[in-house]
């Protein structure tokens, strides 16, 4: 580690600050002195745990701060309490602000909770037409990225710190010299964004530098989709989906239920139509690796990613009345039945293609959707602008034709396809300016590095997927003096002093002050969704493209996908996401080579082996993880890992960088050779056992027109109306109803807090897990502790496979957290009364009474209690502590903890209700997990109100108690999952 312990920022906008005269006169020597006094000591840290490493880093940080104070005493300053309180700030009461977070340039409307200026929690904006109160999984973790201490805090010119004013002056003077030839030597590398502000700024820049070129780079490129629309309709279009109007949903390599952050609305719409019965939708999935969508599929075929086109082609032909070869017999049967289902759905059908697939596949989907007269699809103009491709930029750079390159795309040196060698090319650009959150791989290659503000520190806007303009307002002054993209671009225009607010405000100059404030408050501009277009399908063009589709070469395919957690690697330093188990494999802190068990056997590979993957002369070495349900002859590995060069300390040592294999930006390619390269480290996986062992834990039913809650079946007798085919229903009934007891049931006169989890809607997307982490100050324990099964997540998202290990017939995610048993086995065994029952039915943990015998965990049949085996909140002065929820105790080591039903939210609602002199209304508040769940699988509330949402859910015929026979009377019930099988498909 070459980096010295970070010292607080010394430069920032509008100031050239110094702490001592020595520092002012000889900044380098001062820096060296600090570094010499507190050497990073990286060498002796080899082999130590990540946690110890973090503690040491934290400690050295604190020490550096302490001596800095001792060495340079500021004149005494006095702080004063609020004398006249600002009208909108009440200490101890959080405020909520609407803003936006963007993924791949597309906005997600969010509401951020802030305590006296410190943001602590992100939730979806309920008024936002796309978010509707929900967020993607990664958005929940963004709060931690805000407080990331590894973020850059200094403008640097070739490694030397520069002040903001100097930077603005230097850059402006330099850019003036480029004006002569209309900015022909000026280029921009941006991430395509649907921001009207950026679009208007781009226009201004284009006016000033008409010959400047604009290149785009993003791992979340929608280019193939736009290209596909161009083939089908003659112009690029955004496909807008409304899955509430689809009874038959087909996804071709499209992970709509938890993947790619832009699918948030699809998850909700799909779940809305998932209620069992005649209106229930049917999900057909063709994909390579098992995904959240694949786990929920009614019928799934696994196929190499490069063979998805073949399936699409067969389906395209079948819908048109012809036939085509989809691959094997199973896929052919699947396509045949599916085509019939699509045509028979009366327009309530849709085919969705993932953004990784080539344009022709998208075009075929458009054609099929047109043929079946899909009501679920509509079209608007594209959200994202189109830029010149990265390959063109690489050519320009090779030719030395760019003098000044303004990079605002995320970390191109790492994320661009390796064969472009962009890092080396960037190093040759005389004036490359990179705006980045961290001094990452790209920062080392460019001449100028500018720290980027977090989105929660920035003014801005962006369109969400339906086009709704969503406004971004800062929650906090930039912690590390970062700036946002508009501010950087405005510096090029010579407006260095203009802040993000003025830039945003002036782009909405047509709104008066009140009008602007209303929109700011709401976080969006209502009615700004893009107008629907009705394009005409150009059949000939589609057919032409289809005919041009070459069959994929045989052999083993390498399939690269964005990571569920780190996306393309931009979240690599976010420890919440690093430690979040993958929705399917439950892998943490790593990526791995996923492949089907059959392929693993064929290649002689087993879990934790290292394998070398060679493709077109390039090679990587990664850990192996056989994954049931993966397509044969294909290996999947996610983006975003192997980040060892940047200042992102948490990213180091996690996984393998796949960039060398991603030549020409492709996601998948056949023809790889894979060889065993020894035994690797044990992967940190949170689940060890994947079969239910015939136990009624996560139940699954077949769909039927209606479900009835039947009386409990007596042993040896069949219940009323049951037939031989109702075996699955019988299992559910056995897990319902009261259990015999010698004692009178306890009477709960007031609230009876309870939860219901609908397994039919839970896609395993992990949003609840990370929301719970953010809400309840749940610590991160590190890879080594996860290997020892000591992860602290209160929600355990179990996944159960059944059927064949290569092609499982069913994959069931099941969230399992404290079920708040009315007769809780944990309570009577605690020797010190540290876990007791509340009069509202909560199983409560009294942290300061707990002595940590762990007996409660032993006696918990659900094993949902978590123990602080070590001090997981190391006692360092850390800026991340600002992000903690002040309503929730931070647990010390040696203390047991578990789901509390967000008791702090219950109490806050109670206080509010009491002050207002009313009762807590149903739906007035909810737990963090239920709040975020994009498919509304989790409902929380009180059972004393028979009409509450949770009461109705618990009365559902599918509701059952996990481990019912133990008589624990859980307050959290699960609703059995229902599969809506097509009777015409027998297998899969």
Partner 1 sequence: MADLARTISPSITPEPLIEGPDDDLTLTDSVFAPVWKPTAKGWWFLFMICLGGTGMLFSAIGWTVYKGIGVWGNNIPVAWAFGIINFVWWIGIGHAGTLISAILLLFQQKWRTSINRFSEAMTLFAVICAALYPVVHTGRPWFAAYWLFPYPSTLGIWPQFRSPLTWDVFAVSTYFTTSLLFWYLGLLPDLAALRDRSTGKWSQRLYGIFSLGWRGAGRHWRDYMSAYTLLAGVATPLVVSVHTIVSFDFATAQLPGWHTTIFPPYFVAGAVFSGFAMVVTLIVPAREFLGLKNVITLRHLEAMNKVILATGWIVAYGYAVEIFNDWYSGSRYELGHLHEKMLGPFAPFFWMQMFCNVVVPQIFWKRSLRRSLLVMWIASIFVNIGMWLERFNIIVISLHRDFIPGSWAAYAPTIIDVSLFVGTICFFGMNFLLFLRFVPSVAANEVKELAHEMRHTHV
Q: Which is nearer to partner 1, 508 or 801 (CB)?
A: 801
Task: Compute the distance between CA of residue 135 and CA of residue 120 in angstroms, rounded to an integer.
Answer: 15
Give the CA angle between residues 235, 237, 239 to the nearest 5°.
145
Number of residues engaging partner 1 in binding (CB under 8 A) = 57
Query: Please, what sign has the CA dihedral across residues 502, 507, 513, 517?
Result: negative
Residue closest to 463 by CA, chosen among 222, 188, 297? 222
CA distances from 167 to 177, 414, 443, 501 (A): 16, 25, 16, 20
- Residue from the set 103, 263, 867, 940 that interacts with partner 1 by CB under 8 A: 867
DSSP assigned state of 970: B
Among 623, 868, 951, 954, binds partner 1 (CB under 8 A): 868
Work out how close the CB of 712 gets to partner 1 at its nearest, in angstroms, rounded to a whole number.
18
Shorter beta-carbon distance to partner 1: residue 837 or 952:
837
Binding segment toward partner 1, per CB under 8 A, in 105-113, 317-325, 367-375, 826-834: 826-834
Q: Which is nearer to partner 1, 719 or 967 (CB)?
A: 967
Nearest partner of 667 among 549, 559, 556, 551, judged by Cα: 559
By the 10 Å C-beta count (0-12 exposed, 13-18 middle, 19+ buried), 646 is classed as buried
Site string for partner 1, 881-910 (x = CB under 8 A): -----------xxxxx--------------
Instruction: State yes or no: residue 828 binds partner 1 (CB under 8 A).
Output: yes
Across 830-869, b (16+ Cβ under 10 Å) vs e yields: beeebbebeebbbbbbeeeebebeeebbeebebebbbbbe
What letter would DSSP give residue 337?
H
Instruction: Tell me the CB-side half-sphere exposure of residue 964, using CA atoms within 13 A.
Output: 21
* Interface region with partner 1, contact rule CB under 8 A, candidates 93-101, 609-617, 762-770, 961-969: 961-969
Beta strands in 747-820 (DSSP E): 753-758, 796-803, 808-816
Single residue of 158, 510, 689, 717 touching partner 1 by CB under 8 A: 689
Q: Does 668 bind partner 1 (CB under 8 A)?
A: no
Contact at 8 Å (CB) between 764 and 813?
yes
Torsional class of 52: left (φ above 0), alpha (ψ -120 to 50), beta (otherwise): alpha
> Under the criterion CB under 8 A, does residue 858 sit at the interface with partner 1?
yes
Q: Which of residues 93-152 bind partner 1 (CB under 8 A)?
A: none
Q: Determine, following the binding rule CB under 8 A, whether residue 290 of this chain makes contact with partner 1.
A: no
Stretch of residues binding partner 1 (CB under 8 A), selected from 204-212, 247-255, 383-391, 829-837? 829-837
Q: How far is the CB of 850 from partner 1 (least distance, A)?
A: 7
Give the span between the Cα atoms of 188 and 385, in whole angstroms. Answer: 14
Nearest 5 degrees, angle CA 260-CA 637-CA 590? 90
* Among 273, 356, 452, 865, contact with partner 1 (rule: CB under 8 A): 865
> Can you tell me the distance from the alpha carbon of 646 to that of 655, in angstroms, rounded to the nearest whole number?
15
Decide: is 746 part of the binding site for partner 1 (CB under 8 A): no
Tokens 């007891």 appear where? 741
Instruction: Choose between 370 and 795: whose C-beta lies nearer to partner 1.
Output: 795
Report the C-alpha gap between 18 and 274 in whole angstroms. 62
Pick the binder of partner 1 from 800, 901, 925, 960 (CB under 8 A): 800
Q: Of 222, 799, 932, 950, which one interacts with partner 1 (CB under 8 A)? A: 799
Output the six-digit token pair for 986: 């027998």
Binding partner 1 (rule: CB under 8 A), the pick from 74, 88, 688, 740 is: 688
Residue pair 823/814 in contact by the 8 Å Cβ criterion: no
Residue 730, interface with partner 1 (CB under 8 A)? Answer: no
- Tally of CB atoms within 10 A around 203: 10
Q: Is 814 in the site for partner 1 (CB under 8 A)?
A: yes
862 contacts partner 1 (rule: CB under 8 A): yes
Name the minimum Å distance from CB 364 to partner 1: 39
Q: Which 410-469 residues touch partner 1, going by CB under 8 A?
A: none
Q: Choose the stretch contacting partner 1; rule: CB under 8 A; options: 61-69, 551-559, 652-660, 786-794.
A: 786-794
789 binds partner 1 (CB under 8 A): yes
Is 695 a binding residue for partner 1 by CB under 8 A? The answer is yes
| Residue among 96, 179, 532, 863 that touches partner 1 (CB under 8 A) | 863
Under the binding rule (CB under 8 A), the answer on residue 820 touching partner 1 is: no
For residue 754, the cross-strand partners are 941
Q: Does 861 bind partner 1 (CB under 8 A)?
A: yes
Residue 679 touching partner 1 (CB under 8 A)? no
**Among 217, 796, 936, 971, interactor with partner 1 by CB under 8 A:** 796
Q: Locate 445 and state its tokens.
A: 């290659």
Q: Is 731 in the site for partner 1 (CB under 8 A)?
A: no
Residue 608, interface with partner 1 (CB under 8 A)? no
Distance CA 958, CA 729 (A): 8
When asked if residue 716 is in the footprint of partner 1 (CB under 8 A), the reply is no
Cβ proximity of 216 and 386 under 8 Å: yes
Q: Per rule CB under 8 A, is residue 339 in the interface with partner 1?
A: no
User: Contact with partner 1 (CB under 8 A): which of 788, 881, 914, 918?
Assistant: 788
When binding is defined by CB under 8 A, the residue of 692, 766, 843, 942 that contacts partner 1 is: 692
Which residues ranging from 963 to 982 are in contact with partner 1 (CB under 8 A)? 963, 965-966
Give the residue with the Cβ less far from partner 1, 183 or 764. 764
CA dist 206 and 213 (Å) reads 9
Nearest-approach distance from CB 51 to partner 1, in angstroms: 10
Which window, 208-216, 448-456, 505-513, 783-791, contacts partner 1 (CB under 8 A)?
A: 783-791
The residues near 433 (Cβ < 8 Å, ≥ 6 apart) are 171, 404, 405, 406, 407, 446, 447, 448, 449, 450, 488
Residue in the block written with tokens 């065994």: 829
Footprint on this chain of partner 1 (rule: CB under 8 A): 687-695, 697, 785, 788-790, 796, 798-800, 814, 816, 825, 828-833, 849-855, 857-859, 861-871, 892-896, 962-963, 965-966
């Amino acid at each position: 580690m070459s980096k010295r312990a970070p010292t607080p920022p010394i430069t920032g906008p509008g100031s050239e600050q110094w702490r001592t005269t020595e520092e002012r006169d000889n900044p380098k020597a001062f820096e060296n002195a600090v570094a010499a006094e507190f050497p990073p000591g990286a060498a002796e840290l080899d082999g130590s745990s990540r946690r110890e490493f973090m503690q040491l880093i934290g400690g050295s940080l604190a020490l550096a701060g302490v001596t800095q104070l001792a060495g340079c005493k500021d004149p005494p300053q006095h702080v004063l309490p609020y004398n006249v309180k600002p009208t909108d700030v009440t200490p101890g009461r959080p405020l909520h602000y609407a803003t936006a977070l963007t993924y791949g340039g597309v906005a997600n409307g969010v509401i951020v909770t802030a305590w006296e200026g410190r943001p602590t929690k992100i939730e979806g904006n309920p008024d936002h037409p796309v978010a509707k109160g929900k967020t993607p999984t990664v958005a929940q973790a963004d709060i931690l990225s805000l407080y990331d201490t590894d973020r850059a805090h200094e403008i640097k010119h070739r490694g030397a710190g520069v002040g903001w004013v100097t930077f603005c002056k230097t850059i402006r003077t330099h850019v003036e010299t480029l004006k002569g030839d209309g900015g022909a030597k000026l280029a921009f590398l941006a991430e395509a964004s649907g921001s009207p502000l950026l679009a208007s700024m781009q226009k201004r820049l284009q006016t000033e530098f008409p010959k400047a070129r604009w290149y785009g780079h993003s791992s979340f490129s929608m280019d193939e989709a736009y290209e596909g629309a161009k083939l089908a309709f003659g112009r690029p279009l955004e496909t807008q989906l409304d899955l509430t109007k689809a009874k038959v949903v087909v996804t071709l390599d499209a992970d709509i239920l938890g993947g790619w952050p832009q699918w948030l609305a699809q998850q909700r719409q799909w779940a809305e139509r998932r209620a069992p019965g005649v209106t229930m939708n049917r999900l057909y999935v063709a994909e390579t690796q098992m995904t959240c969508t694949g786990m929920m599929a009614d019928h799934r075929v696994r196929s190499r990613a490069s063979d998805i086109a073949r399936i699409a082609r067969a389906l395209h032909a079948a819908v048109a009345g012809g036939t085509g070869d989809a691959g094997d017999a199973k896929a052919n049967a699947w396509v045949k039945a599916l085509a019939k289902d699509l045509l028979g759905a009366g327009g309530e059908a849709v085919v969705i293609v993932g953004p990784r697939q080539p344009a022709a596949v998208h075009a075929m989907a458009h054609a099929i959707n047109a043929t079946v007269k899909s009501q679920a699809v509509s079209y608007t103009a594209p959200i994202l602008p189109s830029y010149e491709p990265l390959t063109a930029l690489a050519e320009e750079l090779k030719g030395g034709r760019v003098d000044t390159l303004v990079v605002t795309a995320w970390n191109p040196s790492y994320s661009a396809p390796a064969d472009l060698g962009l890092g080396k090319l960037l190093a040759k650009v005389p004036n490359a300016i990179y705006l980045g959150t961290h001094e990452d791989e790209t920062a080392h290659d460019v001449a100028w590095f500018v720290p980027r503000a977090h989105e929660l520190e920035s003014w801005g806007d962006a369109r969400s997927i339906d086009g709704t303009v969503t406004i971004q307002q800062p929650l906090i002054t930039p912690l590390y003096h970062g700036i946002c993209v508009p501010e950087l671009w405005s510096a090029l225009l010579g407006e260095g002093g203009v802040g993000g607010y003025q830039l945003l405000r002036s782009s909405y100059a047509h709104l008066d002050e009140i009008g602007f404030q209303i929109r700011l408050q709401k976080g969006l501009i209502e009615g700004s969704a893009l107008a629907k277009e009705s394009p005409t399908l150009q059949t000939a063009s589609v057919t032409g493209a289809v005919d041009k589709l070459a069959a994929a070469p045989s052999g083993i395919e390498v399939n690269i996908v964005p990571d569920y957690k780190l996306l393309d690697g931009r979240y690599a330093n976010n420890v919440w996401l690093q430690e979040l188990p993958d929705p399917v494999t439950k892998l943490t802190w790593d990526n791995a080579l996923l492949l089907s068990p059959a392929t693993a056997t064929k290649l002689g590979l087993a879990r934790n082996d290292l394998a070398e993957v060679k493709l077109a002369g390039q090679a990587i070495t990664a850990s192996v993880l056989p994954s049931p349900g993966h397509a044969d002859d294909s290996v999947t590995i996610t983006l975003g890992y192997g980040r060892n060069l940047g200042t992102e300390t948490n990213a180091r040592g996690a996984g393998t960088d796949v960039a060398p294999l991603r030549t020409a930006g492709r996601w998948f390619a056949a023809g790889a050779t894979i060889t065993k390269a020894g035994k690797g480290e044990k992967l940190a996986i949170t689940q060890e056992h994947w079969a239910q062992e015939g136990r009624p834990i996560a139940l699954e039913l077949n769909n039927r027109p209606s479900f009835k809650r039947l009386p409990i079946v007596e042993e040896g007798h069949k219940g009323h109306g049951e037939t031989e085919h109702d075996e699955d229903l019988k299992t559910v009934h056995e897990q319902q109803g009261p259990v015999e007891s010698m004692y009178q049931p306890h009477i709960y006169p007031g609230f009876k807090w309870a939860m219901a989890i609908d397994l039919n809607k839970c896609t395993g997307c992990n949003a609840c897990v990370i929301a719970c982490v953010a809400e309840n100050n749940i610590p991160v324990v590190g890879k080594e502790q996860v290997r020892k099964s000591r992860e602290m997540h209160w929600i355990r998202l179990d996944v159960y496979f059944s059927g064949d290990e290569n092609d499982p017939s069913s994959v069931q995610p099941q969230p399992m957290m404290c079920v708040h048993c009315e007769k809780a086995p944990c309570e009577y065994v605690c020797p010190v009364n540290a876990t007791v029952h509340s009069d509202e039915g909560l199983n409560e943990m009294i942290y300061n009474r707990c002595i940590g015998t762990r007996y409660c965990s032993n006696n918990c049949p659900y094993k949902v209690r978590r123990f602080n085996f070590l001090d997981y909140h190391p006692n360092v002065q850390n800026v991340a502590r600002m992000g903690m929820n002040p309503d929730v105790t931070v647990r010390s080591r040696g203390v047991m903890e578990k789901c509390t039903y967000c008791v702090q939210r219950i109490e806050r609602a109670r206080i509010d209700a009491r002050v207002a002199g009313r009762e807590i209304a149903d739906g007035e508040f909810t737990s963090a997990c239920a709040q975020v769940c994009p498919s509304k699988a989790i409902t929380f509330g009180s059972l004393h109100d028979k009409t509450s949402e949770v009461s109705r859910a618990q009365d559902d015929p599918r509701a059952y108690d996990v481990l019912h026979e133990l008589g624990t009377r859980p307050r959290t019930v699960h609703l059995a999952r229902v599969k809506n099988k097509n009777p015409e498909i027998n297998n899969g």
